[in-house]
Amino acid sequence: MECVVQGIIETQHVEALETLLQGLCGAPKERVRVHELCLKSGPNLGVVPSEVRLLCDLALPTPTWTVRHVGGAVRGAAAEQICVQVRQVTESKASNNVLRFFYALGYKLDHELLKVGFAFRLQRGAQITVTVTSAYKMPKLHSTDEAVLITPSIQLVEITAPAAADNYNEVVSAVTSLCEHLAPLLHLSKPGVSTGIVPTAAAAAASLMLNSGGKTL
């Protein structure tokens, strides 16, 4: 399981967000360049199509593949009260022929996108990963070199934290507290829930950049 929130931030404020996260995290940021292929199962594998995401990490010299399946979110009254989405996620590393394997199984490519950005890993009550990426689409199949930004002026911020069934409350509270820390810059919400940008973002970004001027990270 994982707890996840998403938000958007204008590209002009990303640097300020990075500064803020650097301050919160302490460790340097990690580059993120992920080619995400979303596969949908064919009819032979069941009535309900399932979706599998293959993530190819292109930031490293040798690409590494990850298989990821995102399950359903926790529902219920309790789930509605928290502003974090808790959902089932299964992830695993895979060898580089995982794509062929899934094709052999009968999965078909549904869509693909490229995410480029950075990520911070924090330990604040739970292992939290904050990823700030801009999403690219590929006009031609698999043409990661010719990828085009989907939304040039807006980037996606995603905060995820793995959780277990018995401790997800703590993880939720850790993520929520981090969201409050980031409140001056961006609103975070469950995936699929639209937030808009925060009016104080500009001021907060300005103050962050002012304070960090001259700081070497």
Partner 1 sequence: MEMGGGAAPPQGQQQPPPGAAAEAAAAPRPAAERLNAAVVQQLNLESVKTRALGLDKAISRILGDFDAYARANSSPKWQDVIGQFSMVSMELFNIVEDIKKVSKAFAVYPRNVSAENAAILPVMLSSKLLPEMEAEDNTKREQLLYGITNLPIHTQIEKLKARIDMIGSACEAAEKVIADCRKAYGLASRQGPSLVPTLDKVQAAKIQEQENLLRAAVNFGEGLRMPGDQRQLPSSLPSHLVDVLSFGDNTQNFGDNSGVYSKNTPAFTSNAVNNQGTPIQAPGAQQIGRSAPSPSGVSGTGNFDNASTPPMPYANSPRSSTNMMNTPSPQQQLQQQLQQQQQQRQKMMQVPSQHQQQLHSQQQLRPSSTPGVLGQSTMSQLHDLQGQAQQKLQQLPGQHQMQYSQSLSQHFQNRQMQSMQQNMAQNQLNQGSQLRSHLSQFTGAGNNALLNAAQASPNSQMSSFTFKKSKPLTSLRAMDILMYIADKVMQNLFGLNGGHPQRNHASQMLNDQMFGMGASNPSSMVGMQQQQQSVFGNMQTNVQNLQPGMVTLPNPTQNPNFPQQRQQNQQ
**Footprint on this chain of partner 1 (rule: CB under 8 A):** 6, 8, 10, 35, 38-39, 42, 44-45, 56, 58, 63, 95-113, 115, 135, 137, 140-145, 150-151, 153-154, 156, 191-192, 194-197, 199-200, 202-203
Decide whether 19 or 155 has the Cβ nearer to partner 1.
Answer: 155
Decide whether 76 or 192 has the Cβ nearer to partner 1.
Answer: 192
Contacts 24+ apart (CB under 8 A), 22-26: 22/120, 22/217, 24/120, 24/122, 24/124, 24/178, 24/181, 25/120, 25/121, 25/122, 25/130
Decide whether 56 or 175 has the Cβ nearer to partner 1.
Answer: 56
Minimum distance from CB of 154 to partner 1 (Å)? 5
Minimum distance from CB of 62 to partner 1 (Å)? 9
15 three-class SS: helix
Minimum distance from CB of 126 to partner 1 (Å)? 22
Query: For helices 14-25 and 168-181, what crossing angle results, to 10°?
Result: 130
Decide whether 92 or 169 has the Cβ nearer to partner 1.
Answer: 92
Torsion angle of C-alpha atoms 113, 117, 123, 126, degrees rounded to 10: -20
Minimum distance from CB of 125 to partner 1 (Å)? 26
Decide whether 106 or 162 has the Cβ nearer to partner 1.
Answer: 106
Minimum distance from CB of 82 to partner 1 (Å)? 19
Decide whether 16 or 99 has the Cβ nearer to partner 1.
Answer: 99
User: Do the bridges between strand 107-123 and strand 30-41 make them parallel or antiparallel, or are there none, so unpaired?
Assistant: antiparallel
H helix runs in the chain, sequence order: 14-25, 77-81, 98-105, 168-181, 201-211
Minimum distance from CB of 73 to partner 1 (Å)? 12
CA distance 126 to 62: 29
* Whole-angstrom Cα Rg for the chain: 18
* Phi and psi angles of residue 157, each rounded to the nearest 5 degrees, phi first: -115, 130
